[in-house]
């Protein structure tokens, strides 16, 4: 951990009691700040508040009182999910009070080698693959943190100058990271996500580009090269660009050619030997390979990881096989693009479980994927009628409604046959029925275990 004096004697407000927010509050005390912690909800566990207060932190729960903006805070550390049009946040913006996220605080105290990953889809898998590859060949600590569910600043506290941290960073986090400077940055892809938060696609792109904003030509930006727009976005960086391409659009980095995974003219392995299924995971592997090769990892270590790693929980996660049906949990597919990609990964007929929060869009884009891959669909949640409309356009013969992703499991089983895939890939956020996509995925797995009387693999 790097010793910094920036927060010594400063008055800091931490907004949000998530894992990262709580750790940030305690860390700021260690750094000499006077800290107030605020959350719109009152934690169910009273120990959360007690621990903060025992560390000398003033705690305010139950609302985000706008009057806090009048208390002279020098800086605000904001939970990434709190939007900037929140009345209290908007007041701080109006006053010109600096607002950062916990990831920026983690960067400020980190003293090692930083690799950072962002993108609309594939962030977690790419982050995990990169960490595994780098750890395989390093004698020093190589860990992951960030949006992957582990506090950046907490992990950074325990790392030294020879250690490497691979961080997954969301657009929400990156908006509050004005000085972050990874030596290697990865952008997996950029679609049109979270426009309810960012308002415009350009705002969303600019947030993603914060990952490379402070890079120089001595740093590397690994970028998906398979769309012209992404190539143009990459050119807005001052870093040395290292492309990766599943569609063989560049040989300057990592790419797939004639079924082989290659790095700058050198064949590494067959794409079909990657244990993770689907074209999106070829892209994730290529991005991770580029970071690994830039870091001196051997082909043998890369191959070892790619042929053994079975996937991240809730990201096209293989759950089990039962009576020649394969169950997959892709609860992380909270947008249309992710479900498109998931469906392309299967040659078997798919029984799709889909639906969730209604964000106002329709699902015509899924029609060609439904036609090619889906034999039956079970819909649920606020947007179930819109999902049914797309299924009808695709001519799916079996379209059923269910209450949620849990009750959809026995319904899917009833219409399944040997050889089928039963896939939860909702194409929507979970918040209409579940607190998170993780909870939705966990409940799906529990329903599969109850149905089959088996445990997940």
Q: Say if residue 23 carries a ligand binding annotation.
A: no
Q: Say if residue 81 carries a ligand binding annotation.
A: no
Q: Say if residue 120 carries a ligand binding annotation.
A: yes
Q: Say if residue 125 carries a ligand binding annotation.
A: yes
Torsion of Cα atoms, 56 then 62 then 65 then 71, to 10° = 0
Q: Say if residue 122 carries a ligand binding annotation.
A: yes
Distance CA 398, CA 412 (A): 10
Q: Concatenated DSSP letters for 192-236?
A: S--HHHHSSHHHHHHHHHTTTTT--TTSEEEEE-SSHHHHHHHTT
Helix (H) or strand (E) holding 442: helix 437-452
Contact 77, 100 (CB under 8 A): yes
Q: Which pair of tokens denotes residue 444? A: 């799906």
Contact 182, 215 (CB under 8 A): yes
Question: Strand 34-39 relative to strand 421-424: parallel, antiparallel, unpaired?
Answer: unpaired
Tokens 């012209």, located at residue: 228
Quick count: other Cβ atoms within 10 Å of Cβ 454?
14
- Kindly tell me the sign of the dihedral angle through the C-alpha atoms of 292, 296, 299, 304: negative
What is the CA angle 382-427-443, rounded to 5?
75
Which residues belong to the annotated binding site for ATP? 119-125
Which residues belong to the annotated binding site? 119-125
């Amino acid at each position: 951990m790097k010793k910094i004096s920036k927060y010594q004697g400063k008055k800091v407000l931490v907004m949000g009691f998530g894992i990262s927010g709580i750790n940030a509050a305690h860390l700021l005390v260690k750094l000499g700040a006077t800290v107030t912690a605020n959350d719109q909800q009152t934690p169910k566990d009273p120990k959360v508040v007690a621990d903060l207060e025992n560390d000398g932190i003033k705690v305010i729960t139950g609302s985000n009182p706008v009057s806090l903006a009048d208390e002279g805070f020098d800086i605000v550390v904001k939970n990434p999910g709190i939007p900037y049009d929140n009345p209290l946040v908007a007041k701080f913006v109006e006053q010109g009070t600096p607002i950062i996220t916990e990831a920026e605080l983690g960067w400020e105290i980190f003293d090692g080698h930083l690799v950072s990953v962002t993108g609309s889809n594939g962030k977690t898998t790419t982050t995990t693959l990169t960490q595994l590859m780098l750890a395989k060949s390093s004698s020093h600590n190589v860990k992951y943190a960030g949006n992957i569910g582990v506090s950046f600043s907490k992990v950074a506290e325990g790392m030294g100058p020879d250690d490497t941290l691979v961080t997954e960073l969301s657009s929400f986090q990156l908006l509050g990271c004005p000085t972050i400077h990874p030596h290697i940055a990865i952008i997996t892809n950029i679609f049109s996500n979270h426009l309810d938060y960012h308002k415009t696609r350009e705002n969303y792109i600019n947030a993603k580009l914060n990952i490379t904003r402070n890079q120089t030509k001595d740093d590397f930006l690994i970028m998906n090269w398979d769309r012209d727009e992404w190539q143009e976005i990459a050119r807005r960086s001052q870093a040395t660009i290292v492309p990766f391409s599943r569609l063989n659009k560049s040989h300057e980095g990592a790419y797939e050619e004639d079924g082989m995974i290659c790095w700058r003219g050198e064949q590494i392995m067959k794409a079909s030997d990657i244990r993770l299924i689907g074209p999106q995971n070829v892209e994730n592997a290529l991005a991770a390979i580029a970071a690994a090769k830039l870091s001196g990892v051997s082909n043998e270590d890369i191959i070892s990881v790619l042929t053994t790693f079975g996937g991240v929980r809730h990201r096209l996660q293989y759950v089990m096989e039962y009576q020649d049906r394969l169950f997959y949990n892709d609860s992380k597919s909270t947008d249309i693009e992710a479900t498109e990609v998931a469906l392309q990964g299967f040659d078997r007929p798919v029984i799709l479980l889909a639906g969730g929060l209604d964000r106002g869009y329709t699902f015509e884009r899924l029609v060609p994927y439904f036609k090619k891959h889906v034999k039956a669909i079970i819909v649920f949640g606020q947007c179930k009628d819109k999902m049914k409309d797309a299924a009808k356009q695709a001519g799916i013969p079996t379209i059923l409604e269910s209450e949620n992703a849990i009750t959809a499991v026995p319904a899917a089983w009833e219409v399944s046959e040997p050889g089928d895939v039963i896939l939860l890939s909702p194409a929507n956020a979970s918040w209409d029925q579940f607190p998170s996509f993780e909870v939705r995925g966990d409940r799906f797995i529990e329903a599969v275990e109850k149905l089959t009387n088996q445990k997940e693999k």
